[in-house]
Amino acid sequence: MAVLLAEEIDKAYADRAVLRGASISVDAGEHVGLVGVNGSGKSTLLAILAGTLEPDRGRVVRRGRIARLDQDPALPFETVGDAMRDALRWHGELVARWEKALADGDEHATAEAQQALDLAGWEVGHKIEATLQRLGAPTQDTPIARLSGGERRRVALAAVLLTDPDLLLLDEPTNHLDTDATEWLEAFLQGFRGAVLLVTHDRYLLEAVADRLVEVDQGTCVSYDGSYADYLVERAERQARQQQHRERMIATVAREAAWAARQPSARRTKQKARLARLDVLREQVPQIEDREYAFSFETGVPRSVTLAEWHGVSKRYGDRVLFRDVTDVLRPGDRVGVLGPNGAGKSTLLRTLTGEVVPDAGEVLKASRTRIGLLDQARTGLKPDDTVFEAAGEGHDHVIVGDNSIHVATFLGRFAFTRESFGQRVSALSGGERARLLLAKLMLTGANLLVLDEPTNDLDLMTLRVLEEALIGFDGALLVVSHDRAFTDRVCTRVLAFEGEGRVVPYASRSQWMDARRRKAAEAPAPVAAPRVEKAAPTAPKQLSYKEKKELEELPARIEALETEQAGLEAALGDPGIWAKDPDGASAKSARVGAIGSEIEVLFTRWDELSQRA
């Protein structure tokens, strides 16, 4: 049964139609990825589906509880803890419903509420700290007013997950998450019993979580069964069929136009009907937008030069050491990824290279011919009141690309901005459109050293692929902070990893870094956990049901089986050759290891709950 159904949705802003007859359905338990180019209407559609935005036409049917994470979440609370407790309000209401049914002697309602509580858990308060910690979010006593943009996103995501809804609507949930948090979220969504409608640029997440993809294309929704890889193939085949149909229609129109041009002497009814048919055919020719475009950051810098160097660079704030004794050299062709958890100091390291941050020790050297191009997380460099045309040309009608002067309209067309968007204000652009405009401006700088801080945030999948190809072909040097695993794997020739206590360690690839982390985790002695004493729900049943007793008996064997599977996968991943021989299989094994950890945690939590009532 569908938990969400939207039919013939129209939505326009002024004279710009965003959605034109869009229809989509999501069944109970189904995990759907929502894709489309920036500005196609994905976020608008999510807002309509959630009920926070009214469509101009069409209907939406919702069944069950819905929780939504948008790109700019509102948190009308004093502290993080207040937001978390509000997210768990549904559990208190469920307990109250059970208590009332018990007091009223309503056996059916009591059994129904008890079954729901057995499934959700009678004590869920511990989930708050666990979820905040896994997502790298601030502690419960942190005031909401003091949160950064990234912290607000992580707190809002934690709240959405704790609501345990029938349907999750997630708009770019991996933005501002580090690698560990992203992998935990991936495992969580894989095991989530409810339905998911997900907008994300993280291709590994789409591949692991989505059962089906829906593309928002020219205002309508097109469904593709299967994973992200299946979608790419089916989409290419669909576009080929559309192109063939378009060519046949154009040929038909051309024949009709040729006949009309001969100007037959008699304008009788038959000829008039044929001319009318020509007008209809012209209207019927599909308007397939050519969205193909390309970035090019090439500068012609000689391969033999050194662009920048760090020598013994260190930085600390108070007692906290961000990085210590960093030494590295950046030459043309180097594409270096900077990895590590949120708050480790990655952005600060980038800012030492640009000169914005002065190191406490060591020195940063840049060649006289080095030109740095910067894209920061805040996406600065655009004036909100400028139009797209004004922002790209900075007041001029022409821009210089390489050695050539081209019109701003032509330049913007290379970055998939339509003429209708030229007059649009920067403040009205989507996050992805703003990022695409900044990348276009970055190309004009002629920089031979690109410093990019989370460049993939808010980009659509096509722009992401185009950016990757441009960076792979870039003849200068690249220093990039990104938590996008697929982006780092494709683009970076080596990585610098923050490993705590100020240590920044070089690796040949992200995969090598992940292997090293797994080996260290396997070699480390298991911590002795203090016994956790949880307060049992005062109204919980004193006796386990037959089903629960059987479940309790089976839990040790289930946990042991998962631990055995996990150990086998970790042993296989410990072989460095697996990533070269079978990268897809290795990625699947890595994702499964993360999912198993989450499953084991859930089973231990359930074991605690049942044991306390046994």
The full DSSP string for 357-422 is S--SEEEEEE-TT--EEEE-TT--S--TTSBHHHHHHTT-SEEEETTEEEEHHHHHHHTT--GGGT
Residues 341 and 443 in one domain: yes
Residue 576 belongs to a domain with what CATH number?
1.10.287.380
Residue 194 belongs to a domain with what CATH number?
3.40.50.300
DSSP H/E element including 311: strand 308-317
Residues 39 and 174 in one domain: yes
Cβ neighbours of residue 158 closer than 8 Å, sequence gap 6 or more: 84, 87, 128, 131, 132, 135, 137
Q: What pLDDT sits at residue 1?
A: 79
| Bridge partners (DSSP) listed for residue 221 | 216
User: Which of 515, 549, 565 is the C-terminal boundary of a domain?
Assistant: 515
Residues 329 and 451 in one domain: yes
Q: What pLDDT sits at residue 266?
A: 44
Q: What pLDDT sits at residue 288?
A: 45
Amino acid at 4: L
Residues 565 and 606 in one domain: yes
Q: What residue numbers bound the domain in which 604 lies? A: 525-613
Q: What pLDDT sits at residue 569?
A: 75
Residues 548 and 595 in one domain: yes
Residues 476 and 596 in one domain: no
C-alpha distances in Å from residue 519, one per residue of 113, 182, 348, 571: 45, 20, 28, 9
Query: 104 lies in a domain?
Result: no
Please give the Cα distance from 499 to 340 (Å, whole number). Answer: 7
Q: What pLDDT sits at residue 593?
A: 66
Query: 299 lies in a domain?
Result: no
| Bridge partners (DSSP) listed for residue 331 | none
Residue 511's φ and ψ, nearest 5 degrees, are -65, -40
Count Cβ atoms within 10 A of the Cβ of residue 336 and give its class: 0-12 exposed, 13-18 middle, 19 or more buried. middle
Q: Which two tokens stand for residue 549?
A: 């007793």
Q: What pLDDT sits at residue 338?
A: 96
Query: 230 lies in a domain?
Result: yes
Q: What pLDDT sits at residue 342?
A: 85
Residues 494 and 540 in one domain: no
Please give the Cα distance from 8 to 220 (Å, whole number). Answer: 9
- Residue numbers of the chain with a pLDDT score lower than 50: 266, 288-290, 529-530, 532-541
Q: What pLDDT sits at residue 537?
A: 44
CA dihedral sign of residues 142, 120, 97, 50: positive
Query: 199 lies in a domain?
Result: yes
Please give the Cα distance from 206 to 226 (Å, whole number). Answer: 11
Q: Is 345 helix (H, G, I), strand (E, B) or coil?
A: coil
Query: 567 lies in a domain?
Result: yes
Q: What pLDDT sits at residue 601?
A: 67
Q: What pLDDT sits at residue 218?
A: 86
User: Which of 211, 234, 249 is the C-terminal boundary of a domain?
Assistant: 249
Determine the Cα angle at 269 with ends 266 and 274, to 5°.
90
- Contact, 34 vs 197, CB < 8 A? yes
**Total count of domains within the chain:** 3
pTM for the full predicted model? 0.73
Query: 497 lies in a domain?
Result: yes
Look-up of token digits 């048919």: 277
Residues 193 and 313 in one domain: no
Of how many residues is the chain composed? 614
Q: What pLDDT sits at residue 138?
A: 92
Query: 486 lies in a domain?
Result: yes
- CA-based end-to-end distance of the chain: 36
Residues 324 and 371 in one domain: yes
Q: What pLDDT sits at residue 534?
A: 46
The chain-wide mean pLDDT, for the chain, equals 84
Residues 356 and 465 in one domain: yes
Please give the Cα distance from 582 to 505 (Å, whole number). Answer: 26
Q: What pLDDT sits at residue 87?
A: 94
Q: What pLDDT sits at residue 594?
A: 62
User: Which of 515, 548, 573 is the C-terminal boundary of a domain?
Assistant: 515
Three-state SS string across 229-279, please? HHHHHHHHHHHHHHHHHHHHHHHHHHHHHHHHHCCCCCCCHHHHHHHHHHH
DSSP H/E element including 322: strand 320-330
Look-up of token digits 């090293």: 516
Residues 351 and 499 in one domain: yes
Of 206, 165, 212, 203, residue with least CA distance to 62: 165
Query: 566 lies in a domain?
Result: yes
Residues 240 and 218 in one domain: yes
Q: How far is CA 233 from the centre of its chain?
A: 21
Q: Which two tokens stand for residue 45?
A: 């559609």
Residue 17's φ and ψ, nearest 5 degrees, are -80, 120
Q: What pLDDT sits at residue 584?
A: 63
- Contact, 328 vs 309, CB < 8 A? yes
Please give the Cα distance from 590 to 515 (Å, whole number). Answer: 10
Q: How far is CA 291 from the centre of its chain?
A: 21
Q: What pLDDT sits at residue 140?
A: 93
Q: What pLDDT sits at residue 357?
A: 92
Please give the Cα distance from 329 to 350 (Å, whole number). Answer: 13
